[in-house]
Amino acid sequence: MGPATPGDPGGDPSSGDDLPETAPAPAVPPGATPLPDADSGAEPPLSPLRPRASTALVVLATLAVGYTLWAAQDVILPILLAVFFALIGNPIIRGLQRLFIPRAIGAMLVLLLGLAGAVALGSQLVEPASEWARQVPREMRDLAPKLRELTKPMKAANEAAEDFARATDGEDGKPVEVVRTEVNDPYKSLTTTPMMIASVLAVVLLTFFFMVYGENLQRNALSLLPTRQQKRVTVEIMQSIEREISRYVLTISVINALVGLALAGILYLLEVPLAEALLWGTMAMILNFAPYVGPLLGIIIMLMMGFVAFDELWMSLLPAGIYLGLHTLEGQILTPIVLGRQMRLSPLVLILALMLFGWLWGIIGLLLAVPLLVCVKIVLARIEGLEGWARLFE
């Protein structure tokens, strides 16, 4: 039997020539995701929720933020200082509200008491500070022989090394001395003083407004959230963050004030005049806000004060030893007991933060580095999915 033609009903059905033709697969437009095959059972590929930023873009954004923080420090620092002082005053204002005192009146009372205390303390410290500024050059000239006696072996070794290096290089002449002249701008002080006064007034006004209208600002910001659930969770997070940060800042301020008062009292018992003892106690309180760096500067200043105020060697070293003992007692025993482990920070992270903020904002950056670091740690610990980053700070 010969082969059947396509139209022949006697053809072989197994050949598939008479089977109905299947419709061709629709063409996929360029750039579209192809549909999965129904028979293959393959799942469609999941599209990413958001594009991942490149490493170069992240680095450029970080550099841009750092430059902005440095360039806009005249605007940022008054705001940060005002927030810092408002966090100190918020627990006191809440206590006054429990006594049925309105928030605005309580904020005014707290601010006026703080300003009165600062002015009273400053008026007591201006005279001894100016007196020390006048006495330091003369006292340093009197102190120079003692320091030369202490550093005589090191100076002799240094001179021997220089002579050996000069003989090796064959240099007989004296080293060239470079004389530098400094031109003082008489208008610099005239422009700096009004700017400083304006910055102080800005900090005072911003502190008052943050105390009074901070809660309204939070409430208006929460109204931007779309759902009630998001608002409720955000309110809980913000209240816990504000409460814990206020507690931390107020506690640290009280502890540092106690350290300053203790140092001033001990110096007064060592027959240091009361005004000078208050000056060194205030210095210790302020420097204690900057861990490691502040106490190190305080020990150096206490050494200089001891050598100037006392004649005996052991009495000259006593103020620095007392300051070191108070700082050790506060840092190793008092603060960990009061604040607990929740506010503990890694020394390495703390040093890096001090270097960063000190480079950005100077002495104010050193004072604000620890509160800012604690704020970041608390925020990361409260946000779901970022708890691991908060543990990096411990």
The pLDDT tens digits for 274-296 are 888 888 888 888 888 888 888 88
Whole-number pLDDT of residue 177: 52
The length of the chain in residues reads: 394
pLDDT score of 119 more than 80: yes
Q: State yes or no: pLDDT of 15 exceeds 50.
A: no
Give every CB contact of residue 284 below 8 A, 6+ residues apart in sequence: 256, 259, 260, 263, 298, 323, 326
Mind listing the pLDDT tens digit for each residue in 75-106?
888 888 888 888 888 888 888 888 888 989 98
Compute the chain's Rg from CA coordinates: 35
Of residues 22 and 72, the one with the higher pLDDT is 72
Report, as an integer, the average pLDDT of 15-42. 49
Query: Distance (Å, rounded) from C-alpha 298 to C-alpha 285?
Result: 10
- Annotate the chain with three-state secondary structure: CCCCCCCCCCCCHHHCCCCCCCCCCCCCCCCCCCCCCCCCCCCCCCCCCCCCCCHHHHHHHHHHHHHHHHHCHHHHHHHHHHHHHHHHHHHHHHHHHHCCCCHHHHHHHHHHHHHHHHHHHHHHHHHHHHHHHHHHHHHHHHHHHHHHHHCHHHHHHHHHHHHHHHHHHCCCCCCCCCCCCCCCCHHHHHHHHHHHHHHHHHHHHHHHHHHHHHHHHHHHHHCCCCCHHHHHHHHHHHHHHHHHHHHHHHHHHHHHHHHHHHHHHHHHHCCCCHHHHHHHHHHHHHHCCCCCHHHHHHHHHHHHHHHHHCCCHHHHHHHHHHHHHHHHHHHHHHHHHHHCCCCCCCHHHHHHHHHHHHHHHHHHHHHHHHHHHHHHHHHHHHCCCCHHHHHCCC
- Give the mean pLDDT of the chain: 75
Taking only the tens place, the pLDDT of each residue in 292-343 is 888 888 888 888 888 777 777 778 888 888 999 988 888 888 877 777 665 6
pLDDT of residue 13: 44
Flag the least confident range among 6-15, 23-32, 189-198.
Answer: 6-15
Average pLDDT over residues 356-368: 85
327 alpha-carbon distance from chain centroid: 21
Asked whether the predicted pLDDT for residue 5 surpasses 70, the reply is no
- Structure confidence at residue 374 (pLDDT): 79
Higher-confidence position of 259 and 32:
259
Lowest average pLDDT, out of 123-127, 224-228, 235-239, 341-345, goes to: 341-345
pLDDT for position 14: 45
* pLDDT for residue 365: 85
Q: With cut-offs at 50, 70 and 90, classify the pLDDT of residue 30.
A: low
- Predicted local confidence at residue 187, as pLDDT: 56
Q: 10 falls in which pLDDT band (50, 70, 90)? A: very low
Please give the model's pTM, rounded to 2 decimal places.
0.64
pLDDT of residue 244: 76
